[in-house]
Chains A and B, each alone.
Chain A
Amino acid sequence: MTEPLIRVENLTKHFHSGGGFLGGSASTVRAVDGISFEVLRGETLGLVGESGSGKSTTGRLLLRLVEPTSGMAYYENQELFGLSASEMKPLRRKMQIVFQDPYGSLNPRMTVSNILREGLEPLGLSRTEEEAEITRLLEIVGLRSTHRNRYPHEFSGGQRQRIGIARALAVKPEFLIADEPVSALDVSIQAQVLNLLLELQQRLNLTMLFIAHDLAVVRHMSDRIAVMYLGKIVEIAESGQIYLNPRHPYTRSLLAAIPIPDPDAKPAETSADPGAQSVRSEGCVFRSRCSFATDKCAQEPALVEVEPGHLSACHFANTLPSL
Chain B
Amino acid sequence: MTESLEAASPVLSIRNLKTHFFTDLGVVPAVDGVDLEVFAGQTLGVVGESGCGKSVTGLSAMRLVAPPGKIVSGEILLRDENLLTLTEKEMQQRRGRDLGMIFQEPMTSLDPLYPVRDPLMEALLAHTAMTKQEALQESIRLLGAVGIPNPEKRVNSYPHELSGGMRQRVMIAVALSCKPAVLIADEPTTALDVTVQAQILALLRDLQKETGTAILMITHNLGLVAENCQTVAVMYAGKVVEKAPVRTLFKNPRHPYTQGLLRAVPRLDHPPKQPLPTIPGMVPNPLRLPTGCRFRSRCLFAIDKCAAEQPPLAELGGGHVSACWVQPEFSLVPSETRAAS
User: Interface on A for B, CB 8 Å cutoff?
Assistant: 15, 17, 20-22, 24, 27, 29, 48-53, 56, 100-101, 103-104, 142, 144, 146, 154-159, 180, 183-192, 194-195, 198-199, 213-217, 219-223, 239-240, 243, 253-254, 257-265, 267-271, 274-275, 277-279
Number of interface residues of B (CB under 8 A): 77
* Proximity string of chain B (268-285) to chain A, C-beta cutoff 8 Å, 1 when within and 0 when not: 101011011111001001
A63 and B198 alpha carbons, distance in the complex (Å): 32
Tell whether, in the assembled complex, residue A156 and residue B227 are in contact, meaning their CB atoms are under 8 Å apart.
no
Which chain B residues in 216-266 approach chain A with CB under 8 Å?
220-227, 246-247, 250-251, 260-262, 264-266
Interface presence of B202 (CB below 8 A): yes
Tell whether, in the assembled complex, residue A243 and residue B220 are in contact, meaning their CB atoms are under 8 Å apart.
no
Residues of B within 8 A of A213 (CB): 190-194, 197
Tell whether, in the assembled complex, residue A271 and residue B199 are in contact, meaning their CB atoms are under 8 Å apart.
yes
Given known A-B contacts A156-B51, A188-B260, A51 and B223 have beta carbons under 8 A apart:
no
Interface presence of B195 (CB below 8 A): yes
Tell whether, in the assembled complex, residue B196 and residue A50 are in contact, meaning their CB atoms are under 8 Å apart.
yes
A55 and B222 alpha carbons, distance in the complex (Å): 24
A277 and B49 alpha carbons, distance in the complex (Å): 35
Task: Closest B residue to A161 by CB, please name it.
Answer: B50
- Interface window among B33-41, B89-97, B163-171, B305-313: B163-171
A237 and B266 alpha carbons, distance in the complex (Å): 21
Which listed residue (A52, A104, A185) contacts B50, Cβ 8 A? A185
Tell whether, in the assembled complex, residue B268 and residue A258 are in contact, meaning their CB atoms are under 8 Å apart.
yes
Task: Closest A residue to B189 by CB, please name it.
Answer: A213
Which chain B residues in 146-192 approach chain A with CB under 8 Å?
146-147, 149-150, 152-153, 155-157, 161-166, 168-169, 187, 190-192
User: Interface on B for A, CB 8 Å cutoff?
Assistant: 21, 23, 47-51, 55, 104-105, 107-108, 115, 117, 144-147, 149-150, 152-153, 155-157, 161-166, 168-169, 187, 190-199, 201-203, 220-227, 246-247, 250-251, 260-262, 264-268, 270, 272-273, 275-279, 282, 285
Chain B proximity of A195: nearest CB distance (Å) = 5
Chain A proximity of B26: nearest CB distance (Å) = 11
27 contacts between A and B (CB under 8 A): A15-B161, A17-B157, A20-B115, A51-B196, A52-B166, A100-B191, A101-B105, A103-B108, A144-B285, A183-B191, A183-B220, A188-B49, A198-B275, A213-B190, A214-B221, A221-B272, A254-B195, A259-B224, A261-B223, A263-B227, A265-B226, A267-B227, A268-B227, A275-B144, A275-B145, A277-B195, A277-B196
